[in-house]
Chains A and B, each alone.
Chain A
Amino acid sequence: MATTYSMNQLRVGLKIMMDNDPAVITDTEFVKPGKGQAFVRIKAKNLNTGRVNERTYKASESIEGADVVDKELQYLYSDGDHWYFMDQTSFEQIAADAAAMGDTTQWIKEQDLCILTLWEGRPISVTPPNFVVLEIVETDPGVRGDTSSGGNKPATVDTGAVVRVPLFVQQGELIKIDTRTGAYVSRAKE
C-alpha cells in the first residue's frame, strides 16, 4: 500500500524508505553529464538513527515512500520504560520507548503537547514543544548586585535538565527554555 515515487517526484522533505528505514530527504541532485546516463543523488536523514546518508539512484528507478506521519499528542505519564501519549480527539493512547524519546524526556511535563513521528503506526521520534516553561529546583545563589549582562551558572529544572542561566535567576523561579538549543530564553510568569 506504500506509495512509490519516480525520481523526478522527489522533493526535500519527502519521506522515503532508504536501507529499510524511513528517511526524510534533505537534498536531491540530478546528475547527467554530457551525453551520459542520468542519476539522482539523494541525501536523506534516517528517522531511526538521525544519520544523514547519501545514495545514488538511476534516474529510471523508483523509490518506495515511507508510511510516516507526524501527530500532535498530549503527554500523559511515564512508567520508566515507556512514555504514554494521548490523541486528544480519539483518546487513543500511544507508548513511546526510550529510543524514540531521545533527549525529549528532559524537557516535557505531563499535559505538554508533543509531535510524535509515527512509522507504520509506531513512534520513532518525539519532538517537544519548541519552548517550555520549567521551574528551577536547584542553582547557586547569584552574587548580589549582578546585572542582567554577563556571566551564567548551571541550574537544574524540575524535569531534571541542566540549563545555563544568568546569575540573577534564582531557585524557585520559572524560566522559558528553547528546547531546540537547550538554551535559556527568559524568566517566565506562569
Chain B
Amino acid sequence: MSWEPAAGLGALRRRAEVLARIRTFFASRNVLEVETPVLAAAGGTDVHLAPLHTYLADGRRLYLQTSPEFAMKRLLAAGSGPIYQLGRAFRDGEVGRRHNPEFTMLEWYRPGWDHHALMDEVDALLAEVLGTAPGERLSYREALRHHAGFDPFATADGELRERAAGLGLAADDVDRDGCLSLILGAVVEPRLGRGRPTFVIDFPASQAALARIRQGDPPLAERFEAYVEGVEIANGYHELTDPGEQRRRFEADLAERRRRGLPDVPLDERLLAALEHGLPDCAGVALGVDRLVMLACGASSLAEVMAFPIDRA
C-alpha cells in the first residue's frame, strides 16, 4: 500500500497548466463555464456504460454522471448560449492504462454549429494545448478500409466474427457493432492521429448514440471521434434534438439492457421535457482531460498524470 501520489509533481504542474489553458481558450471565445450536478436522479442509458450510484439518507437513489451531457442540454434549452464544463465523470469497470473509473471530462456545446465547425474548434484546442498540426478527417469506412483492410459497411457478420476471432476473441455472442468496436480499438485506433490529429467521421447509424443520423445509403451518424498519437481523445455529435427520436433511442437502450441482464436506469424525463421545450440546433463534444494531460506530458498511462488513480484512491 502506498500513500504517495502516482504522478510526479512535474506532471501535476503540467495538469494545472492544461486546465488553465482550457479556461483561457474558452474565455477568449466567450464560451460560458458552467457547473452541473455530479449526482442526478437519472443516468445515461448507454448499454456500454455502467453508471455508479449512491443513496441519500431519505432513500433517494442518485446516479453519478457518466458525462454532464443531459444537464448541459437542459441549460442550452434554457437559452444559455455556448457553454463548457470541466468536471468529474464516473464509469464503473473502466480500468486500464487509459481508463480510470473517475476521470476529468471537458464537455462543450456550440448552438448553431454542426459537428464540422466543432471539429475545427477541437483542432484549435489541441493545437493550443499540445501544439499539434492541423488535423485530418477520415470517414469510419476509410479508417477501417485503410488500417484494417475491409469495408465495415460491406462485410458480412460471419467475416466480422472471424476477424474478431483472429484477435483472440472466443465469445460467440458479440454482435456486429461489438466486433467492429474490438477491431477499431485493437487494430485501427493505435494507428490514428500519428503526426497530426485524426477526426473519424460518418459512423454507422447503429453507433449514433446521441448524434443525428443523416439519411442516405447507408445512413450515417453525424458523430466524430478525435485521435492524437493513437489515443482516443474526444467524441462529438451534431446533437439529436428531436424528443420523439431521443425517447425511442432511450427505450431501445433500455430494452437492450434488459436483454443483456444489465441493471435498469431511469429515463431522464427532465432532459426529454427540455427537448420538448426545444433544444437549439447544436454540436457538442466530450474530451478526456486526463488523456490530454497524458499526451501533453508524453506519458503512456493515466496513472503517470493522476495524483491518485483508482488503486490509490
Contact = CB atoms under 8 A, between A and B. Distances in A.
Task: Please tell me the size bucket of the interface on B.
Answer: 20 to 34
Given A36-B207, A37-B181, A56-B186, A30 B94 contact: yes
B174 A37 contact: yes
B208 to A, nearest CB: 9
Contacts of B48: 32, 35-38
A36 B235 contact: no
A8 B100 CA distance: 11
B93 A33 contact: no
B75 interface: no
A30 B95 contact: yes
Given A30-B97, A31-B186, A32-B99, A39 B169 contact: yes
Contacts, number: 83
Nearest to B311: A11
Interface string A49-61: 0000111111101
B56 interface: no
A145 interface: no
A35 B95 contact: no
B46 interface: yes
A55 B167 CA distance: 7
Interface string A20-47: 0000000011111111111101000000
A28 B301 CA distance: 13
B169 A56 contact: yes
A41 to B, nearest CB: 6
B184 A37 contact: no
Contacts of B232: 33-34
Nearest to B170: A55
The B interface, classified by DSSP as helix, strand, loop or mixed, is mixed
Task: Please tell me the size bucket of the interface on A.
Answer: 20 to 34
A36 B46 contact: no
Contacts of B177: 36-37
B107 interface: no
Nearest to A35: B209
Given A33-B181, A37-B181, A54 B225 contact: no
B171 interface: yes
Interface of A: 7-8, 28-39, 41, 53-59, 61
30 contacts: A8-B93, A28-B96, A30-B94, A30-B95, A30-B98, A31-B182, A31-B185, A32-B181, A32-B185, A33-B181, A33-B189, A34-B232, A35-B48, A36-B178, A36-B180, A36-B185, A37-B174, A37-B178, A39-B169, A39-B186, A41-B186, A53-B168, A55-B168, A55-B169, A55-B170, A56-B169, A56-B170, A56-B182, A58-B174, A59-B93
Q: What are the 8 closest A-B residue pairs judged by CB atoms, nearest first? A: A30-B96, A36-B181, A33-B185, A31-B185, A37-B178, A55-B168, A56-B169, A56-B168
Given A31-B185, A32-B94, 18 more contacts: A8-B95, A30-B95, A30-B97, A32-B48, A33-B225, A34-B181, A35-B207, A36-B48, A36-B180, A36-B184, A37-B178, A37-B182, A56-B164, A56-B170, A56-B186, A57-B169, A58-B171, A58-B174
